[in-house]
Chains A and B, each alone.
Chain A
Amino acid sequence: MTSTRRLSDHNVSANSFWALTARQRDEVWRELRDHEPVSWQPPAEGGLMPIEDDDGYWAVVRYDDIREVSTNPEIYCSGEGVQLENIPEMFLEPTQSFLAMDAPRHSSLRRLVSAAFTPRRIATIEDQIRSQATRIVDDLLATGDCDFVHNVSMKLPMWTIYEMVGLPAEQQEEVASAADVIVSSNDEDVQAGREPLEVINDAVMTLMTAGLDLAEDRRNHPSDDLMTNLVQAEVDGEQLTDEEISAFFVLLSVAGNDTTRNTISHTAMALAAFPEQRDWLLADFDGRIGTALDEFVRWASPVMTFKRTVTQDTVLNGQPIAAGEKVVMFYPSGNRDERFFERPWEFDLSRSPNKHLSFGGGGPHFCMGQQLAKSQLRAIFGELLHRVPNLELGEPDYLLSNFVNGIKSMPCTLN
């Protein structure tokens, strides 16, 4: 079957598109949602490596279509890569782990770590997360005016994920910075004059070394953490290889850090921009935060894209798609789809139900860390809203990325 490709007039692959504001991007997505829900797009600009036979992908922008792609992994598979950007083979294995796998291997490997992310396990570390949030706000109050991202947003996710994995505190900041580079090598600030490939290579080496050193240590000194679980685990009667363990470590580092960090930054901005929503939440924080958390996450849409490869000729919302072609889901667009959400551009903390796509559109790759992320958001905003009531945020410096909705820095004043 040949699909009927016609390059869309609305290019969502170019860096110039990703340099727009979230609101401007959504105006383009809205055009696509209304008139071209499954559109043919050129390959992502700024890829680490152009792939010669890559002529583009189908962009999926409507809520229902993102759900359909996500929940049919037999047709829309992950095993051939999940990033919009083409990533050289040499980086795929060491960085993607079960993110870029299909059943049954995906299920076996994911289960090795998923048991650490269940509601009951998260509940056991909730006190630690809360006291860490208290410490972060103690430090913020002692520091005074500063960079909100560095002093608040990045701290709690970094501390939480590495506490679970077992990485010593003195290594956490360096390793988390390397994890950031993996998702931000398109940004000129991150490149600092170097080639993206070189930048990412350094970061992967830093992460792999840290992961393998920690694995080696846990083989000799088992502890109660995820790395110990990984070095002791057996799948189909075999232990994990060093490469598999370090890929796990890279995935947990990337997924555990930037997603929650950016959600904290975007939420802090939204609470400042919509003071009546902040007041509504504060009027009964404990009673309302559970509902509000989903709006924090819908609003932020911290992960913007994931790709799938079609395993057989199929049809999506009327558009024929041929086996082997790629589809890319645009989650912020699904989260603003007016067919599904009323008043999608209103930050409404009482929105319920709020079945957003920020943790994915369902299916086997649905976010494993969603309970953990919510615990962190609950803890940090409980502290911030009650103890820093006059927090003011300056202009954010956005990351140029087609993958994460990132904020690099944002000045804050405490008044």
Chain B
Amino acid sequence: MPSAGCIKHDRARCAGLGVCEAIAPEFFEVGGDGEMVVLRADVAPEAEALVREAIESCPTQALSWSE
């Protein structure tokens, strides 16, 4: 499957708020322990826009995009 890029997660900055999850629940999940997990790091081209929106919306700038 072609991949447009991948999600990078900086755990030190992440506060587990779940803003990313509210936008793209197929890619992000905050677990019962308050830790956010990236469910799928590789992003298909058709999901790129949504994932980029989630990354940009992170209040603690804990997410980034890499080609």
Partner-B contacts on A (CB < 8 A): 71, 107, 110-112, 114-115, 117-120, 355, 359-360, 362-364, 366, 368, 370-371
Min CB distance, B50 to chain A, in Å?
A: 14
- Which B residues are in CB contact (< 8 Å) with A111? 16, 33-34
Contact of A118 among B30, B57, B59, B60 (CB under 8 A): B30
Question: Is B17 among interface residues, defined by CB-CB distance under 8 A?
Answer: yes
> A115–B32 Cα gap in the complex (Å)?
6
- Which B residues are in CB contact (< 8 Å) with A359? 59
For A359, give the chain B residue with the smallest CB separation. Answer: B59
Contacting pair A363 B59 (CB below 8 A): yes
Min CB distance, B38 to chain A, in Å?
A: 15
Contacting pair A114 B34 (CB below 8 A): yes
For B23, give the chain A residue with the smallest CB separation. Answer: A119
How many residue pairs bridge A and B at CB < 8 Å?
54
Min CB distance, B20 to chain A, in Å?
A: 9
> A370–B22 Cα gap in the complex (Å)?
11
> A366–B61 Cα gap in the complex (Å)?
11
> A328–B25 Cα gap in the complex (Å)?
35
Question: Is B21 among interface residues, defined by CB-CB distance under 8 A?
Answer: yes
Contacting pair B30 A364 (CB below 8 A): no
Q: A363-B60, A364-B60 are in contact. Are A119 and B18 (CB under 8 A)?
A: yes
- Which B residues are in CB contact (< 8 Å) with A107? 15
Question: Is B29 among interface residues, defined by CB-CB distance under 8 A?
Answer: yes
Contacting pair B25 A119 (CB below 8 A): yes
- Which A residues are in CB contact (< 8 Å) with B31? 115
- Which B residues are in CB contact (< 8 Å) with A112? 34
- Which A residues are in CB contact (< 8 Å) with B57? 355
Contacting pair A114 B17 (CB below 8 A): yes
- Which A residues are in CB contact (< 8 Å) with B18? 117-120, 371
Contacting pair A118 B21 (CB below 8 A): yes
Contact of A362 among B25, B32, B59 (CB under 8 A): B59
Min CB distance, A63 to chain B, in Å?
A: 15
Q: A114-B16, A119-B25 are in contact. Are A71 and B61 (CB under 8 A)?
A: yes
> A363–B21 Cα gap in the complex (Å)?
17
Contacting pair A368 B17 (CB below 8 A): yes
Contacting pair B21 A366 (CB below 8 A): no
For A113, give the chain B residue with the smallest CB separation. Answer: B34
- Which B residues are in CB contact (< 8 Å) with A362? 59-61
Min CB distance, A161 to chain B, in Å?
A: 17
> A71–B58 Cα gap in the complex (Å)?
11
Contacting pair B30 A371 (CB below 8 A): no
- Which A residues are in CB contact (< 8 Å) with B16? 111, 114-115, 118
Q: A107-B15, A111-B16 are in contact. Are A119 and B30 (CB under 8 A)?
A: yes
Min CB distance, B9 to chain A, in Å?
A: 15
> A355–B59 Cα gap in the complex (Å)?
10
- Max chain A Cβ within 10 angstroms of own Cβ: one of B15, B33, B60: B15
- Which A residues are in CB contact (< 8 Å) with B15? 107, 110, 114, 364, 366
Q: Could you pull out 15 A-B pairs where Cβ atoms are within 8 angstroms?
A: A107-B15, A114-B34, A115-B32, A117-B18, A118-B34, A119-B18, A119-B22, A119-B25, A360-B59, A362-B59, A363-B60, A366-B17, A366-B60, A370-B19, A371-B22
Min CB distance, A221 to chain B, in Å?
A: 22
Contact of A120 among B19, B29, B33, B59 (CB under 8 A): B29
Min CB distance, A267 to chain B, in Å?
A: 20
For A374, give the chain B residue with the smallest CB separation. Answer: B22
> A371–B17 Cα gap in the complex (Å)?
9
Min CB distance, B28 to chain A, in Å?
A: 9
Min CB distance, A64 to chain B, in Å?
A: 15
14 additional A-B residue pairs with CB within 8 Å, beyond A118-B17, A364-B15: A110-B15, A115-B31, A115-B32, A115-B34, A118-B21, A118-B30, A119-B21, A119-B30, A120-B18, A120-B21, A366-B15, A366-B60, A370-B19, A371-B18
- Which A residues are in CB contact (< 8 Å) with B22? 119, 371
Within 8 A of A (CB), among B31-62: 31-34, 57, 59-61
- Which A residues are in CB contact (< 8 Å) with B29? 120
- Which A residues are in CB contact (< 8 Å) with B17? 114, 117-118, 366, 368, 370
> A148–B29 Cα gap in the complex (Å)?
38
